[in-house]
Structure 1
Amino acid sequence: MDSTAFVTASWRKSRRSATINCVEIAETPDLIGVRDSKNPEGAVLAYPVARWAAFLHGVKLGEFDRP
């Protein structure tokens, strides 16, 4: 994924995160970008908005909880 789609995006992290070692996300109209706050110039994982919404829905339902 070419991370240039996120060059002007505003990155944010959870309010529950510490100041370092966090996952950050940014939004464009079509994609959600995910990056490591320790390496903001590094790789960006990009997901279509619908896939990201499905992932969040699964998180809320506990689909990824450990047994």
Structure 2
Amino acid sequence: MNHEPTWQRSSYSQGSDQTCVDVAISAIAVHVRDSKDPDGPILRFSTVEWAVFLRGVHGGEFELPR
């Protein structure tokens, strides 16, 4: 059985700008890596941690000051 994560890249990262991340989601974890360094380190978050992060993103918690 293959346990290699299936990586996905945002559709917003098309073109020459390579500043994006790849994400692989499983039933128990979310894995995040730098798309420019696919063999580099991988961050692993529980699904609960990821849900809290997404709530912060949707709530504007990470917006830069204007």
Q: Which is higher, the Rg of structure 1 or of structure 2?
A: 2
Q: In which range does the TM-score fall when normalised by the shorter chain? A: 0.7 to 0.9
Aligned residues: 61
* Structure in which a larger fraction of residues adopt strand: 2
Aligned to 1:38, what secondary structure does the other structure show? coil
TM-score by length of 2: 0.81
Q: Deviations over 1:14-58 (max 9, x none)?
A: 111135332010012211000011111110000000110110011
Alignment partner of 1:16: what SS?
Answer: helix
Q: Does 1:17 align with 2:26?
A: no
- Which residue of the other structure, out of 13, 38, 41, is the alignment partner of 1:43? 41
Q: Give aligned-pair identity as a percent.
A: 39
Cα displacement (A) at 1:8:
1.5
Unmatched segments (≥5 aa) in structure 1:
1-6
Unmatched runs of 5 consecutive residues or more in structure 2: none
TM-score (norm 1): 0.80
